[in-house]
Amino acid sequence: MKFGGTSVGKPERMHQVKDLITRDNQKKIVVLSALSGTTNALVGIGEALADADKELAKKRIDLLHAHYLIFYKDLLKSDSARKKAEKIIAEHFEFLNIILKISFNEAINRDILAQGELLSTKLFYTLLQELDIPAVFLPALDFMSIDENHEPELKKISEKVKSILKNYPEESIFVTQGYICKNHRNEVDNLKRGGSDYSASLIGAAINAEVVEIWTDIDGMHNNDPRIVDQTRPIAQLSFDEAAELAYFGAKILHPASIWPAQQYNIPVKLLNTMEPDAIGTTITAKEQGTGVKALAAKDGITAIKIKSSRMLLAYGFLRKVFEVFEKYKTSIDMITTSEVAVSVTIDDLSHLKEIIRELEAYGSVEVDQNQTIISIVGNLIAESKGSVAQIMNCLTDYPVRMVSYGGSRHNVSLLVDAQYKNAALQSLNSGLFEW
Ligand code: ASP
Ligand code: MG
């Protein structure tokens, strides 16, 4: 059971989490994020230190500290629990204040970022102790690890976590941190922003859990972006492939990497709402159900690159050469469309755009369009349903579409539009593809 930042962000919410994990006696690992806002604040502290602005860093540390000094008093009642919390908070903020005095580097920055989950889990554990709820504190740094390519070491994680759990055959609640891990240098590291979902899914896979529950503040994955279109509804069931597509292309509720461990070990993932615990939410399993469009998601900040060359005509090996350029600069490609004399691809990481363009120019003329948005239309058997593509295109008669990718899988049609058309296109698709 993983609870996100907003689910632990207020003392009363933490109490709700306590209620949710004690609703039954099943054995569970509880994975917590940092309190909402904390990781952002820690990023800010790191940035100030990177700029050698110690005054600003100190201000930010004090501001965050003040937040915790109010939080624990509302969370805990007894003197002894409050004393414990005071000690925990003092320890972590002392650490941040010591960092002010030493020279800053990337490893220290990652130590800073880890403070959020350490604080949230320790405070939550203190609450359980205060209420005499038996539980085990399971430090993620004892078992979560990534290799030199930043990939989680699932086999090692599994061995370690299982051997720790063996020591507690009678206990049923284990509390651990999302997001944080050790890297191959044995330093504190993390699974990138939003990585607590990934932690939960890795742990689920590591222990072969019955289910991975991701508890957030919305009732499951919705069929469109509620911030943009006038109405949306939660989707009850998705396949792993559909969910991965949606998570990657913009549905903020789930970290996209968290699908593969669950998929590989065939563990259902449920997206549930802490505020409405009995709502059905979204269940993600291997099963492919229904036909037709289930949901839309959009991803901004996309750049399209077109490489046009008459040498592509009747040639083989051209695409390989093009892709090798992206591989060399570790830049992943999202969409691809081809014609006989040109190929268009999209990327979202612009760190090596200049070098990539320079190298591609050896193979043909290169055109770049920035500020594009991928709209991903996801569902089951879209490619096999009669008329589905016509229906999608009919919704887009008022907007130029730069690329269309269709047939790559049975679950998806992707469109590329200029960012200025995104909202209108999402709304038009929302009205045209779903029955309201
Ligand atoms: N606390 C981390 C973040 O804000 C990890 C997470 O919440 O998933 O990115
Ligand atoms: Mg999240």
Q: What's 166's domain CATH number?
A: 3.40.1160.10
The reply to whether 305 and 162 lie within a common domain is no
Summarize pLDDT for 50-69 with one digit per residue, the tens. 999 999 999 999 999 999 99
Tokens of 67: 């937040």
- 262 within some domain: no
Indicate if 174 and 308 belong to the same structural domain: no
Amino acid symbol at 258:
S
Q: Which of 114, 80, 81, 76 lies closest to 95, judged by CA?
A: 114
Q: What are 266-320's pLDDT values in tens digits?
A: 999 999 999 999 999 999 999 988 888 999 999 999 999 999 987 766 678 888 9
User: pLDDT tens digits, residue range 233-266?
Assistant: 999 999 999 999 999 987 788 999 999 999 999 9
| Model pLDDT for residues 155-211, shown as the tens digit of each residue | 999 999 999 999 999 999 999 999 999 999 999 999 999 999 999 999 999 999 999
C-alpha 35 – ligand 2 centre gap (Å): 11
The answer to the question of residue 250 being in a domain is no
Does any domain span residue 218?
A: no
Give SS3 for 384: helix
Index of the ligand 1 atom closest to the CA of residue 199: 8
Q: Render pLDDT for 320-347 as a digit per residue (tens, 0 to 9).
A: 999 999 999 999 999 999 988 899 999 9
CA of 215 to the centre of ligand 2 (A): 10
The residues with which 417 forms a beta bridge, in sequence order, are: 373
Nearest residue CA, atom 6 of ligand 1? 194
Q: Is the CB of residue 377 less than 8 Å from the CB of residue 388?
A: no
Asked whether 261 lines ligand 1 (CB < 6 A), one says: no
Instruction: Mark which of 210, 232, 257 sits at the end of a domain.
Output: 210
Is the same domain home to 183 and 307?
A: no
Do 147 and 48 have their domain in common? yes
**197 CA from centroid of ligand 2 (Å):** 6
**pLDDT tens digits for range 196-233:** 999 999 999 999 999 999 999 999 999 999 899 999 99
Instruction: Tell me, yes or no, whether 75 lies in a domain.
Output: yes
Does residue 28 sit in the same domain as residue 171?
yes
The protein residue whose alpha carbon is closest to atom 5 in ligand 1 is 194
Distance CA(204)–CA(174), nearest Å, equals 13
Whether 289 is in a domain gets the answer no
Where does a domain end: 210, 238, 270? 210
The range of the structural domain enclosing residue 301 comes to 294-433
Tell me the residue type at 309.
Answer: S
46 lines ligand 1 (CB under 6 A): no
Same domain, 188 and 298: no
Q: Is 39 marked as a binding-site residue?
A: yes
Tell me the mean pLDDT in the region 72-79: 98
Structure confidence by residue, pLDDT tens digits, 342-366: 999 999 999 999 999 999 999 999 9
Say what the pLDDT of residue 407 is: 84
Angle at 263 between CA 260 and CA 268, to 5 degrees: 125
Residue matched to tokens 């609870």: 3
Question: Quick one: 161 and 16 in the same domain?
Answer: yes
Q: Confirm or reject: Cβ of 116 under 6 Å from ligand 1.
A: yes
Cβ(75) – ligand 1 distance below 6 Å: no
The pLDDT of residue 408: 85
C-beta 34 within 6 A of ligand 1: yes
Beta strands in 140-179 (DSSP E): 173-177
Domain stop point among 162, 194, 210 = 210
pLDDT at 309: 86
Over range 408-432, report the average pLDDT.
94
pLDDT value for 165? 97
Instruction: Give me the CATH number covering residue 379.
Output: 3.30.2130.10
198 and 307 fall within a common domain: no
SS3 31: strand
Give residue 315's pLDDT. 74
Residue whose tokens read 């349903």:
385
Helices 54-75 and 11-21 sit at what angle, rounded to 10 degrees? 60
- Asked whether 195 lines ligand 1 (CB < 6 A), one says yes
Looking at the fold, whether 301 and 204 belong to one and the same domain comes out as no
Give 156's strand partners. none
What is the number of residues in the chain? 436
pTM tops 0.75? yes
Tell me whether residue 227 is annotated as binding: yes
pLDDT at 291: 83
What torsion do the CA atoms of 234, 238, 240, 246 make, to the nearest 10 degrees?
A: -40
Residue 251: the pLDDT is: 78
- 21 and 141 within one domain: yes
Q: 3-state DSSP call for residue 365?
A: strand
Ligand 1 centre to CA of 171 (Å) is: 27
The total number of structural domains in the chain stands at 2
The answer to whether residue 235 sits within a structural domain is: no
Rg, the chain, Cα only: 24
In a domain, 279, yes or no: no
Cβ of 9 closer than 6 Å to ligand 1, yes or no, is: no
- 39 in contact with ligand 1, CB cutoff 6 A: yes
Q: Does 308 share its domain with 425?
A: yes
User: Residue 24 — very low, low, confident or very high, per pLDDT cuts 50/70/90?
Assistant: very high
Mean pLDDT to the nearest integer, 404-414: 89
Does residue 27 sit within a domain?
A: yes
Burial class from Cβ neighbours inside 10 Å (0-12, 13-18, 19+) for residue 278 reads exposed
The atom number, within ligand 1, closest to the CA of 4 reads 7
Report the separation in Å between the CA atom of 293 and the middle of ligand 1, taken as the mean of its atom positions: 31
The bound ligand whose nearest atom lies closest to the alpha carbon of 198 is 1
What is the separation of C-alpha 5 from the centre of its chain, rounded to a whole number of angstroms?
Answer: 13
